[in-house]
Chains A and B, each alone.
Chain A
């Protein structure tokens, strides 16, 4: 149990376009989802925390107008990279906290975004 599906696994887009990444909890309800960004050979940096039905909380230095997060249901959160630029190229990973579980977070398999 506790599977998180992240889609797409990789995407290439042109500069100036927007890209949407989906994170779905397949067999549980996720009250909270987290979005991370990982640069090559570096750790995961928390971008934002999203709670179902409310606005996301962004970490310091993360542009909320550029990285739009929507958590409209208990099983789906989306991250939209708007007006993407090459410096947005990165590996994006989501994780989901099961409703009522404070300890066990499940991670998606990640999305490799390349902006050309």
Chain B
């Protein structure tokens, strides 16, 4: 069965510093990996995805993520954090083998960027 783990409930970072939000996954086939951001009482906004190709994926708002097959990780990164990046971040995975297009979400990591 597919699963996603976000080991940190919360990440604190100072504005201007680099940030990393961690994600590891488990699937039986090839993974489709996603990052989403959620602001209070709002739906999810898509940030980026990895389907195939370059392991380094660039997405919205200056975010990027690196797919590491050997470590089954897909950590979200940004070189310089902004206060406005403070939100709830979800990593998600879809297993190519499921055939049902179901997306499984991690528990979420709350990012606090301090001015």
Contacts and interface: CB of A to CB of B under 8 A. Distances in A.
Interface stretch (B12-20, B60-68, B72-80, B97-105): B97-105
B43 A97 contact: no
15 contacts: A34-B103, A43-B105, A43-B107, A44-B90, A46-B103, A93-B43, A93-B44, A95-B103, A104-B49, A105-B103, A107-B43, A109-B43, A110-B41, A110-B43, A112-B41
Interface residues on B, range: 20 to 34
Contacts of B51: 103
A104 B44 contact: no
Given A6-B43, A103-B49, A108-B43, A46 B102 contact: yes
Nearest to A46: B102
A98 B20 CA distance: 31
Interface in A79-116: 91, 93, 95, 97, 102-110, 112
A32 interface: yes
Interface string B32-76: 100010000111111001010000000000000000000000000
Given A43-B108, A106-B46, A91 B41 contact: yes
A42 interface: yes
A49 interface: yes
Contacts of A95: 44, 103
Nearest to A57: B100
A69 to B, nearest CB: 15
Interface in B5-31: none
B105 A44 contact: yes
Contacts of A103: 32, 49, 51
B46 A110 contact: no
Contacts of B45: 107
A54 to B, nearest CB: 13
A46 B32 contact: no
B11 to A, nearest CB: 15
A42 B107 contact: yes
Nearest to A91: B41
Contacts of B41: 10, 91, 110, 112
